[in-house]
Protein backbone atom coordinates (compact mmCIF):
# COMPACT_ATOMS: atom_id res chain seq x y z
CA UNK A 1 0.00 0.00 0.00
CA UNK A 2 1.31 3.48 -0.86
CA UNK A 3 2.26 5.92 1.89
CA UNK A 4 3.25 9.57 2.26
CA UNK A 5 6.62 10.60 3.63
CA UNK A 6 5.19 11.19 7.12
CA UNK A 7 3.37 7.87 7.12
CA UNK A 8 6.55 5.99 6.20
CA UNK A 9 8.47 7.56 9.10
CA UNK A 10 5.68 6.72 11.54
CA UNK A 11 5.39 3.17 10.24
CA UNK A 12 9.10 2.61 10.69
CA UNK A 13 9.08 3.95 14.26
CA UNK A 14 6.00 1.87 15.11
CA UNK A 15 7.66 -1.30 13.77
CA UNK A 16 4.95 -1.70 11.14
CA UNK A 17 5.15 -2.42 7.42
CA UNK A 18 2.51 0.17 6.72
CA UNK A 19 0.09 2.60 8.34
CA UNK A 20 -3.01 4.38 7.12
CA UNK A 21 -4.53 7.76 7.88
CA UNK A 22 -6.52 7.67 11.10
CA UNK A 23 -4.73 4.63 12.48
CA UNK A 24 -3.64 4.77 16.15
CA UNK A 25 -0.03 3.71 16.68
CA UNK A 26 2.65 3.70 19.36
CA UNK A 27 5.95 4.95 17.98
CA UNK A 28 9.53 5.00 19.28
CA UNK A 29 11.00 8.47 19.83
CA UNK A 30 14.39 9.79 18.77
CA UNK A 31 14.12 13.01 20.78
CA UNK A 32 11.90 14.47 23.50
CA UNK A 33 12.13 18.24 23.90
CA UNK A 34 10.99 20.68 26.55
CA UNK A 35 11.58 24.32 27.50
CA UNK A 36 11.47 26.38 30.68
CA UNK A 37 7.69 26.76 30.52
CA UNK A 38 6.58 23.27 29.54
CA UNK A 39 9.30 20.99 30.91
CA UNK A 40 8.82 21.88 34.61
CA UNK A 41 5.20 20.68 34.31
CA UNK A 42 6.44 17.47 32.66
CA UNK A 43 9.00 16.94 35.41
CA UNK A 44 6.29 17.28 38.06
CA UNK A 45 4.02 14.84 36.22
CA UNK A 46 6.88 12.38 35.87
CA UNK A 47 7.53 12.52 39.63
CA UNK A 48 3.82 12.06 40.34
CA UNK A 49 3.79 8.92 38.22
CA UNK A 50 6.93 7.56 39.87
CA UNK A 51 9.13 9.50 42.33
CA UNK A 52 12.06 7.31 41.30
CA UNK A 53 11.43 7.45 37.55
CA UNK A 54 14.38 7.71 35.19
CA UNK A 55 14.46 9.07 31.65
CA UNK A 56 14.51 6.34 29.02
CA UNK A 57 17.69 7.62 27.36
CA UNK A 58 19.74 10.54 28.68
CA UNK A 59 20.96 11.31 25.15
CA UNK A 60 17.45 11.56 23.71
CA UNK A 61 16.12 14.22 26.08
CA UNK A 62 16.69 17.91 25.35
CA UNK A 63 15.94 20.70 27.82
CA UNK A 64 16.21 24.25 26.51
CA UNK A 65 15.42 27.16 28.87
CA UNK A 66 14.73 29.76 26.19
CA UNK A 67 11.36 31.42 26.83
CA UNK A 68 12.05 33.57 29.89
CA UNK A 69 15.84 33.51 29.88
CA UNK A 70 18.02 35.20 30.86
CA UNK A 71 15.64 34.86 33.81
CA UNK A 72 12.90 37.46 33.75
CA UNK A 73 11.83 37.13 37.38
CA UNK A 74 11.87 34.83 40.39
CA UNK A 75 9.32 32.41 38.94
CA UNK A 76 11.33 32.09 35.73
CA UNK A 77 14.49 31.56 37.76
CA UNK A 78 12.75 28.86 39.84
CA UNK A 79 11.58 27.00 36.72
CA UNK A 80 15.08 27.05 35.27
CA UNK A 81 16.53 25.89 38.59
CA UNK A 82 14.15 22.92 38.52
CA UNK A 83 15.30 21.98 35.02
CA UNK A 84 18.95 22.44 35.95
CA UNK A 85 18.62 20.10 38.94
CA UNK A 86 16.54 17.57 36.99
CA UNK A 87 19.07 17.51 34.16
CA UNK A 88 21.92 16.98 36.62
CA UNK A 89 20.15 14.25 38.57
CA UNK A 90 19.06 12.44 35.40
CA UNK A 91 22.43 13.02 33.68
CA UNK A 92 20.63 14.54 30.69
CA UNK A 93 23.20 15.14 27.98
CA UNK A 94 21.44 17.93 26.14
CA UNK A 95 20.73 20.60 28.74
CA UNK A 96 21.63 24.09 27.55
CA UNK A 97 22.51 26.64 30.18
CA UNK A 98 22.59 30.41 29.63
CA UNK A 99 25.74 31.10 27.63
CA UNK A 100 25.16 27.99 25.53
CA UNK A 101 21.41 28.18 25.11
CA UNK A 102 19.53 29.37 22.05
CA UNK A 103 15.96 29.40 20.84
CA UNK A 104 15.11 25.70 20.87
CA UNK A 105 13.95 25.28 17.27
CA UNK A 106 17.02 27.06 15.93
CA UNK A 107 19.34 25.30 18.37
CA UNK A 108 18.44 21.64 17.85
CA UNK A 109 19.00 21.53 14.07
CA UNK A 110 22.15 23.64 14.44
CA UNK A 111 23.53 21.18 17.01
CA UNK A 112 22.65 18.17 14.88
CA UNK A 113 20.31 16.74 17.51
CA UNK A 114 17.53 16.17 14.96
CA UNK A 115 18.10 14.66 11.53
CA UNK A 116 16.20 13.19 8.60
CA UNK A 117 13.94 10.27 9.41
CA UNK A 118 13.68 11.05 13.14
CA UNK A 119 10.47 10.91 15.15
CA UNK A 120 10.44 13.86 17.53
CA UNK A 121 8.02 15.28 20.07
CA UNK A 122 8.41 18.57 21.87
CA UNK A 123 6.33 20.29 24.50
CA UNK A 124 6.19 23.34 22.25
CA UNK A 125 3.85 23.75 19.29
CA UNK A 126 6.58 24.87 16.89
CA UNK A 127 8.45 21.58 17.19
CA UNK A 128 7.16 20.97 13.65
CA UNK A 129 10.15 23.10 12.50
CA UNK A 130 12.29 19.97 12.13
CA UNK A 131 10.22 18.74 9.22
CA UNK A 132 12.54 20.89 7.13
CA UNK A 133 15.15 18.16 7.67
CA UNK A 134 12.83 15.40 6.55
CA UNK A 135 11.89 14.37 10.11
CA UNK A 136 8.47 13.79 11.63
CA UNK A 137 8.25 16.36 14.42
CA UNK A 138 5.22 17.61 16.28
CA UNK A 139 4.21 19.46 19.42
CA UNK A 140 2.63 17.73 22.41
CA UNK A 141 1.41 18.59 25.88
CA UNK A 142 3.57 18.39 28.98
CA UNK A 143 1.97 15.14 30.15
CA UNK A 144 2.82 13.49 26.83
CA UNK A 145 6.33 14.84 27.25
CA UNK A 146 6.53 13.25 30.69
CA UNK A 147 5.36 9.89 29.32
CA UNK A 148 7.82 10.22 26.44
CA UNK A 149 10.74 10.95 28.76
CA UNK A 150 9.98 7.84 30.79
CA UNK A 151 9.03 5.38 28.04
CA UNK A 152 10.68 6.66 24.87
CA UNK A 153 7.36 6.22 23.12
CA UNK A 154 4.32 8.27 22.14
CA UNK A 155 0.97 7.40 20.63
CA UNK A 156 -0.15 9.10 17.44
CA UNK A 157 -3.13 9.11 15.15
CA UNK A 158 -1.57 8.85 11.71
CA UNK A 159 -2.43 12.08 9.87
CA UNK A 160 -3.83 12.33 6.37
CA UNK A 161 -1.83 14.64 4.12
CA UNK A 162 -2.03 17.72 1.96
CA UNK A 163 0.49 18.11 -0.85
CA UNK A 164 1.92 21.50 -1.74
CA UNK A 165 3.58 21.32 -5.14
CA UNK A 166 6.07 24.18 -5.51
CA UNK A 167 7.30 25.49 -8.85
CA UNK A 168 9.43 28.46 -9.90
CA UNK A 169 11.77 30.52 -7.69
CA UNK A 170 11.16 33.18 -5.05
CA UNK A 171 11.65 36.79 -6.25
CA UNK A 172 14.14 39.14 -4.56
CA UNK A 173 13.16 40.05 -0.99
CA UNK A 174 10.56 37.27 -0.91
CA UNK A 175 11.37 34.35 1.39
CA UNK A 176 10.03 31.37 3.26
CA UNK A 177 8.03 33.61 5.60
CA UNK A 178 6.13 35.09 2.66
CA UNK A 179 5.48 31.59 1.32
CA UNK A 180 4.00 30.22 4.52
CA UNK A 181 1.97 33.39 5.17
CA UNK A 182 0.61 33.08 1.64
CA UNK A 183 -0.39 29.47 2.32
CA UNK A 184 -2.00 30.23 5.68
CA UNK A 185 -3.85 33.17 4.14
CA UNK A 186 -5.08 30.85 1.41
CA UNK A 187 -6.27 27.89 3.54
CA UNK A 188 -6.86 29.49 6.96
CA UNK A 189 -5.59 28.81 10.48
CA UNK A 190 -7.49 25.53 10.58
CA UNK A 191 -7.12 24.75 6.89
CA UNK A 192 -4.79 21.81 7.47
CA UNK A 193 -6.21 20.67 10.80
CA UNK A 194 -4.37 17.51 11.94
CA UNK A 195 -3.00 17.05 8.44
CA UNK A 196 0.58 16.56 7.37
CA UNK A 197 1.65 19.43 5.11
CA UNK A 198 4.03 17.82 2.64
CA UNK A 199 6.03 20.10 0.33
CA UNK A 200 7.32 18.85 -2.98
CA UNK A 201 8.06 19.90 -6.56
CA UNK A 202 11.00 21.39 -8.41
CA UNK A 203 10.56 24.67 -6.55
CA UNK A 204 11.81 23.03 -3.35
CA UNK A 205 15.34 23.04 -4.77
CA UNK A 206 15.36 26.84 -4.84
CA UNK A 207 14.47 27.15 -1.15
CA UNK A 208 17.29 27.47 1.35
CA UNK A 209 17.28 25.36 4.50
CA UNK A 210 16.39 28.48 6.48
CA UNK A 211 13.39 29.05 4.19
CA UNK A 212 12.28 25.48 4.85
CA UNK A 213 12.70 25.82 8.61
CA UNK A 214 10.50 28.92 8.50
CA UNK A 215 7.80 27.19 6.45
CA UNK A 216 7.66 24.09 8.66
CA UNK A 217 7.81 26.21 11.82
CA UNK A 218 4.48 27.81 10.94
CA UNK A 219 2.71 24.65 9.75
CA UNK A 220 1.03 24.62 13.16
CA UNK A 221 -0.45 28.05 12.36
CA UNK A 222 -2.48 26.30 9.67
CA UNK A 223 -3.56 23.70 12.23
CA UNK A 224 -1.27 21.00 10.81
CA UNK A 225 0.10 18.03 12.73
CA UNK A 226 3.43 18.53 10.99
CA UNK A 227 5.11 20.02 7.96
CA UNK A 228 7.79 18.16 6.03
CA UNK A 229 10.17 18.62 3.10
CA UNK A 230 11.91 15.94 1.04
CA UNK A 231 15.57 15.28 1.73
CA UNK A 232 17.76 16.65 -1.04
CA UNK A 233 21.36 17.79 -1.53
CA UNK A 234 20.81 20.93 0.59
CA UNK A 235 19.44 18.84 3.43
CA UNK A 236 22.37 16.44 3.31
CA UNK A 237 24.84 19.30 3.17
CA UNK A 238 23.23 20.89 6.23
CA UNK A 239 23.35 17.66 8.25
CA UNK A 240 26.89 16.65 7.32
CA UNK A 241 29.30 17.68 10.05
CA UNK A 242 26.43 18.42 12.45
CA UNK A 243 24.51 15.19 12.89
CA UNK A 244 24.96 13.50 16.25
CA UNK A 245 23.45 10.26 14.93
CA UNK A 246 22.71 8.56 11.62
CA UNK A 247 19.90 9.79 9.45
CA UNK A 248 17.47 7.87 7.28
CA UNK A 249 15.84 9.16 4.12
CA UNK A 250 12.17 8.41 3.49
CA UNK A 251 10.40 9.27 0.25
CA UNK A 252 6.69 9.41 -0.45
CA UNK A 253 5.40 6.82 -2.88
CA UNK A 254 4.54 8.21 -6.28
CA UNK A 255 0.94 7.11 -5.86
CA UNK A 256 0.66 8.25 -2.23
CA UNK A 257 -2.80 9.50 -1.33
CA UNK A 258 -3.31 13.20 -0.55
CA UNK A 259 -6.62 14.69 0.48
CA UNK A 260 -5.80 17.90 -1.36
CA UNK A 261 -3.09 19.09 -3.73
CA UNK A 262 -2.14 22.76 -3.95
CA UNK A 263 -0.11 24.24 -6.81
CA UNK A 264 2.06 27.24 -5.85
CA UNK A 265 4.29 29.16 -8.28
CA UNK A 266 6.98 30.73 -6.09
CA UNK A 267 7.83 33.32 -8.72
CA UNK A 268 4.36 34.84 -8.38
CA UNK A 269 4.58 35.48 -4.62
CA UNK A 270 4.86 38.97 -3.14
CA UNK A 271 6.03 40.29 0.24
CA UNK A 272 3.19 39.32 2.57
CA UNK A 273 2.13 40.62 6.00
CA UNK A 274 -0.32 39.05 8.44
CA UNK A 275 -2.46 41.74 10.06
CA UNK A 276 -3.97 41.39 13.55
CA UNK A 277 -5.16 39.15 14.99
CA UNK A 278 -4.60 35.97 12.98
CA UNK A 279 -1.73 34.62 10.86
CA UNK A 280 -4.33 34.06 8.12
CA UNK A 281 -5.29 37.75 7.91
CA UNK A 282 -2.76 38.37 5.17
CA UNK A 283 -2.20 41.20 2.75
CA UNK A 284 0.38 41.54 0.02
CA UNK A 285 2.68 44.52 -0.42
CA UNK A 286 0.23 46.40 -2.64
CA UNK A 287 -2.65 46.02 -0.14
CA UNK A 288 -1.10 47.26 3.09
CA UNK A 289 -1.90 50.96 3.22
CA UNK A 290 -0.48 53.41 5.77
CA UNK A 291 0.14 51.62 9.10
CA UNK A 292 2.46 53.40 11.51
CA UNK A 293 4.42 51.29 13.99
CA UNK A 294 6.13 51.61 17.37
CA UNK A 295 8.36 48.54 17.41
CA UNK A 296 10.13 46.04 15.17
CA UNK A 297 11.32 42.60 16.29
CA UNK A 298 13.67 40.56 14.11
CA UNK A 299 14.34 37.10 15.54
CA UNK A 300 12.46 34.12 17.03
CA UNK A 301 12.41 30.41 16.15
CA UNK A 302 10.83 31.45 12.85
CA UNK A 303 13.34 34.01 11.60
CA UNK A 304 16.29 34.24 14.00
CA UNK A 305 18.87 32.50 11.82
CA UNK A 306 21.99 34.04 10.30
CA UNK A 307 20.44 34.45 6.84
CA UNK A 308 17.60 36.44 8.42
CA UNK A 309 20.06 38.77 10.14
CA UNK A 310 22.05 39.17 6.92
CA UNK A 311 18.93 40.30 5.06
CA UNK A 312 18.09 42.81 7.78
CA UNK A 313 21.66 44.11 7.95
CA UNK A 314 21.81 44.58 4.17
CA UNK A 315 18.75 46.84 4.35
CA UNK A 316 19.80 48.72 7.51
CA UNK A 317 23.46 49.23 6.57
CA UNK A 318 24.42 52.91 6.71
CA UNK A 319 20.90 54.02 7.61
CA UNK A 320 19.01 54.99 10.77
CA UNK A 321 15.77 53.57 12.10
CA UNK A 322 12.86 56.01 12.10
CA UNK A 323 12.37 58.28 15.09
CA UNK A 324 10.03 56.79 17.65
CA UNK A 325 10.56 53.19 16.52
CA UNK A 326 12.22 50.63 18.80
CA UNK A 327 14.08 47.89 16.93
CA UNK A 328 15.06 44.67 18.70
CA UNK A 329 17.34 42.14 17.01
CA UNK A 330 17.42 38.65 18.55
CA UNK A 331 19.94 36.10 17.19
CA UNK A 332 18.52 32.59 17.43
CA UNK A 333 21.53 30.99 19.12
CA UNK A 334 24.96 31.82 20.48
CA UNK A 335 26.41 30.51 17.21
CA UNK A 336 24.20 32.86 15.20
CA UNK A 337 25.25 35.67 17.54
CA UNK A 338 28.95 34.89 16.99
CA UNK A 339 28.54 34.59 13.23
CA UNK A 340 26.74 37.95 13.14
CA UNK A 341 29.46 39.46 15.32
CA UNK A 342 32.27 38.23 13.10
CA UNK A 343 30.49 39.43 9.95
CA UNK A 344 29.98 42.91 11.40
CA UNK A 345 26.20 42.62 11.40
CA UNK A 346 25.82 43.58 15.05
CA UNK A 347 27.74 46.80 14.43
CA UNK A 348 25.39 47.61 11.56
CA UNK A 349 22.37 47.07 13.80
CA UNK A 350 23.70 49.17 16.67
CA UNK A 351 24.79 52.01 14.38
CA UNK A 352 21.34 51.98 12.80
CA UNK A 353 19.77 52.50 16.23
CA UNK A 354 18.70 48.96 17.05
CA UNK A 355 19.35 46.96 20.21
CA UNK A 356 20.77 43.43 20.05
CA UNK A 357 19.46 40.88 22.55
CA UNK A 358 20.81 37.62 23.92
CA UNK A 359 19.20 34.57 22.28
CA UNK A 360 15.70 34.24 23.75
CA UNK A 361 12.06 33.83 22.78
CA UNK A 362 11.49 37.06 24.71
CA UNK A 363 8.86 39.28 23.12
CA UNK A 364 7.38 36.62 20.82
CA UNK A 365 5.08 35.37 23.57
CA UNK A 366 4.93 38.63 25.49
CA UNK A 367 7.59 37.27 27.80
CA UNK A 368 10.12 40.05 28.22
CA UNK A 369 12.56 42.31 26.33
CA UNK A 370 9.97 43.92 24.08
CA UNK A 371 6.51 43.68 25.62
CA UNK A 372 4.02 46.10 24.05
CA UNK A 373 2.08 48.78 25.89
CA UNK A 374 -1.56 49.65 25.28
CA UNK A 375 -2.28 50.67 21.70
CA UNK A 376 1.23 49.98 20.37
CA UNK A 377 1.94 48.29 17.05
CA UNK A 378 4.80 45.95 16.24
CA UNK A 379 6.09 44.45 13.00
CA UNK A 380 7.59 41.12 13.98
CA UNK A 381 9.26 38.16 12.30
CA UNK A 382 7.65 35.88 14.89
CA UNK A 383 4.88 33.37 14.20
CA UNK A 384 1.74 34.46 16.08
CA UNK A 385 -0.22 37.69 16.33
CA UNK A 386 -3.18 36.73 18.53
CA UNK A 387 -4.84 39.27 20.80
CA UNK A 388 -2.39 40.24 23.55
CA UNK A 389 0.29 37.92 22.19
CA UNK A 390 3.10 40.43 22.70
CA UNK A 391 1.68 42.48 25.55
CA UNK A 392 -1.38 44.65 26.10
CA UNK A 393 -4.67 43.26 24.79
CA UNK A 394 -5.20 46.29 22.56
CA UNK A 395 -1.69 46.19 21.10
CA UNK A 396 -1.21 44.89 17.56
CA UNK A 397 1.32 42.51 16.02
CA UNK A 398 1.94 42.33 12.27
CA UNK A 399 3.81 39.23 11.09
CA UNK A 400 6.36 39.73 8.34
CA UNK A 401 9.68 38.64 6.88
CA UNK A 402 13.05 40.07 8.00
CA UNK A 403 13.13 42.16 4.81
CA UNK A 404 9.73 43.74 5.48
CA UNK A 405 10.61 44.24 9.16
CA UNK A 406 13.86 46.02 8.30
CA UNK A 407 12.26 48.28 5.68
CA UNK A 408 9.49 49.09 8.13
CA UNK A 409 12.04 50.03 10.78
CA UNK A 410 13.49 52.65 8.44
CA UNK A 411 10.14 54.06 7.34
CA UNK A 412 8.34 54.05 10.70
CA UNK A 413 5.41 52.28 9.06
CA UNK A 414 4.81 48.92 7.44
CA UNK A 415 6.83 49.02 4.24
CA UNK A 416 7.57 46.26 1.77
CA UNK A 417 10.51 45.98 -0.62
CA UNK A 418 9.29 45.66 -4.19
CATH number of the domain within which 360 lies: 3.30.499.10
**Is 418 part of a structural domain of the chain?**
no
Last residue of a domain, one of 264, 293, 318: 264
| Backbone phi, psi, residue 416, to 5° | -115, 135
Indicate if the pLDDT at residue 417 is higher than 90: no
Residue 312 lies in a domain: yes
**CA pair distance 64, 370, nearest whole angstrom:** 21
Residue 396 confidence (pLDDT) above 70:
yes
How does the average pLDDT of the chain come out, rounded?
95
pLDDT higher than threshold 90 for residue 242: yes
Q: What are residue 64's phi and psi, to 5 degrees?
A: -125, 100
Residues 291, 171: one domain? no
How large a percentage of the chain has pLDDT more than 90? 93
Element (H, E) at 228: strand 226-228
Residues 219 and 337 in one domain: no
* Within a domain: 54: yes
Number of domains composing the chain: 2
64: nearest Cα among 127, 131, 128, 130 = 127
**Is residue 201 predicted with pLDDT exceeding 80?**
yes
299 with 349, same domain: the answer is: yes
Instruction: Judge whether residue 42 has pLDDT over 70.
Output: yes
Same domain, 85 and 9: yes
Residue 162 lies in domain: 5-264
Number of other CB atoms surrounding residue 262 within 10 Å = 17
Residue where a domain terminates, one of 241, 264, 287 = 264
Using CB atoms within 10 A of its CB, is residue 231 exposed (0-12), middle (13-18) or buried (19+)?
A: buried
What is the phi-psi region of residue 374: left when phi exceeds 0, alpha when psi lies from -120 to 50, beta otherwise?
A: beta
Boundary (domain end) residue, out of 214, 247, 264? 264
User: 285 pLDDT band (50/70/90 cuts)?
Assistant: confident
| Per-residue pLDDT at 269 exceeds 90 | yes
Question: Do residues 154 and 122 both lie within one domain?
Answer: yes
Residue 417 lies inside a defined structural domain of this protein: no
Residue 1 has pLDDT above 80, yes or no: no
Instruction: Tell me, yes or no, whether 231 and 312 share the same domain.
Output: no
| 297 and 380 fall within a common domain | yes
Q: What is the mean pLDDT of residues 36-46?
A: 95
Q: Are residues 227 and 291 in the same domain?
A: no
Per-residue model confidence as pLDDT tens digits over 333-381: 999 999 999 999 999 999 999 999 999 998 988 888 899 999 999 999 9
* Amino acid 418: pLDDT: 67
pLDDT of residue 124: 94
Amino acid sequence: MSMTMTQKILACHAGLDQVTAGQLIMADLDMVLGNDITAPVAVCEMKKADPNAKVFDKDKICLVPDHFTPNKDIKAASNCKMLREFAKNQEVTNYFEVGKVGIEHVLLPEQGLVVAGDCVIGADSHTCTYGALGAFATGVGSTDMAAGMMSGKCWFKVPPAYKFNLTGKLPKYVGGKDLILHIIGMIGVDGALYRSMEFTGEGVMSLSMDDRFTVCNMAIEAGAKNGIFPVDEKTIEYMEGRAKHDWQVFEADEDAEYEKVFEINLSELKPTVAFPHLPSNTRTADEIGDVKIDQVVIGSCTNGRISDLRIAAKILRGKKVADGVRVIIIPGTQQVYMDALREGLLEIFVEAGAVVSAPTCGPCLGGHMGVLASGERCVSTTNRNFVGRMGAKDSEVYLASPAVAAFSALEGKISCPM
